[in-house]
Structures are given as C-alpha cells and as structure tokens.
Amino acid sequence: MNAVEHPQNPLTGYQTLDGDYRRYVDQMGQVFASMAGHLTTSGALVLSVANNQTGKTLTPLADDLVAEAQRFFTVREVIPLTWDHPPAWLFEDRLVVFDPIAGT
C-alpha cells in the first residue's frame, strides 16, 4: 500500500478499487487490536513491512503500521532486511518483533 496511485484495497485481496492509505492504516490498527486480545503473554507478533517510494513521494508504511501496533504491543526487536536486488519502489524493509502489553 502506498499513499499515491494505489486504488486497489489490500484488505479485500485487491478485489476492490476503494484503496485509501489512511483508512488502510486505521483498519490495520483494528486488526492489531483484535490480535492483542488473542495473543498470549508468551507469544509474539512479527510484522514484515516496508516504507516505499512512488516517484518522489515516500510512503512511511512501516513507520505508520509500527506506530499503530505500538498501541497494543511493545517492540522487542527491529531487524532490517536487505535485498540482493531490491525493487525500485522499496525504500526500507524490516521485520519488527512485538511483545504483547500485559493487560490488553
């Protein structure tokens, strides 16, 4: 998902043309909230996410989704990912490991 030129909605399996970046981030926050209610204290959430670039516009998807997830989880570790041949749109890719927040 990027902030520009992305009419497809990833949350519908790219089947609909109602893609909206801010709504996507908000809806992912709802997904994280639901997951927080099911993850045990010994479990972990691992998020694979990248910031991306469309033309000269940077979409901070990784930053925005990590911020949403931090409402319900704490960051344990951030693992930068490097690609041998990264796609042109990829700005920064990472795995983020989260622990549940006690009592959520």
pTM of the complete model? 0.88
Residue 80 host element (H or E): strand 73-81
The domain limits of the chain are: 10-100
Two structure tokens written together for 49: 């996410």
- The neighbouring-strand residues paired with 97 are 46, 77
Report percent pLDDT > 90 for the chain: 64
Please give the pLDDT value at position 104.
Answer: 54
Q: How does pLDDT run across 19-69, given as a tens digit for each residue?
A: 889 999 999 999 999 999 898 888 999 999 999 998 899 999 999 999 999
